[in-house]
């Protein structure tokens, strides 16, 4: 999230809540550097107003522009969550005494979906988590 932003002539200097700092040029944001602009910031976004136009930039998009390693770190974090979920799914399904086919039927899904989740080939969506919860598996 964004802690602070300093408006400069050629871009914006951002400080994030974890202490990381980075610069994003107006060019990278497709903002005309020659036009007067009003900048407002909250932890979740940066808003740039130029004339009648208003551009809204989410904090994570700005972080990815300011810190190229951010995307790599987030991808690794997402992968770790996916791996943890697949292991929990397999363990909870086995503890409930259900086969992949039985769980899939309870969820109203094809068995290949449950298999792909457990193998980590497919991320479990929010809808998938809700279906699993309704089927009695709280991950």
pLDDT at 51: 83
pLDDT at 6: 93
Query: What are the contacts of 45-53 at 24+ separation with CB within 8 A?
Result: 45/2, 46/2, 46/5, 46/12, 46/14
For the chain, the average pLDDT equals: 92
Number of neighbouring beta carbons within 10 Å of residue 61: 14
Residue 94 has pLDDT above 90, yes or no: yes
pLDDT at 27: 93
pLDDT at 43: 94
pLDDT at 33: 84
Q: Are 63 and 70 in contact (CB under 8 A)?
A: yes
Q: What whole-number percentage of the chain has pLDDT above 90?
A: 75
pLDDT at 46: 94
Which domains does the chain carry?
A: 2-66 (no CATH), 69-134 (1.10.260.40)
pLDDT at 25: 95
pLDDT 10s digits, 18-68: 999 999 999 999 988 888 789 999 999 999 998 888 999 999 999 999 998
């Amino acid at each position: 999230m964004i802690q602070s932003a300093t408006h400069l002539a050629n871009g914006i200097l951002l400080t994030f809540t974890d202490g990381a700092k980075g610069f994003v040029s107006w060019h990278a944001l497709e903002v005309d550097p020659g036009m007067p602009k009003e900048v407002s910031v909250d932890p979740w976004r940066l808003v740039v107003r130029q004339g009648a136009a208003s551009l809204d930039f989410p904090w994570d998009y700005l972080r990815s522009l300011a810190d190229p390693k951010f995307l790599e770190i987030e991808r690794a974090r997402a992968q770790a969550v996916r791996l943890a979920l697949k292991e929990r799914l397999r363990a909870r399904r086995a503890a409930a005494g259900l086969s992949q086919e039985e769980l899939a039927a309870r969820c109203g899904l094809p068995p290949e979906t449950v298999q792909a989740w457990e193998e980590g080939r497919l991320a479990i969506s929010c809808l998938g988590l809700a279906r699993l919860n309704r089927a009695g598996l709280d991950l």
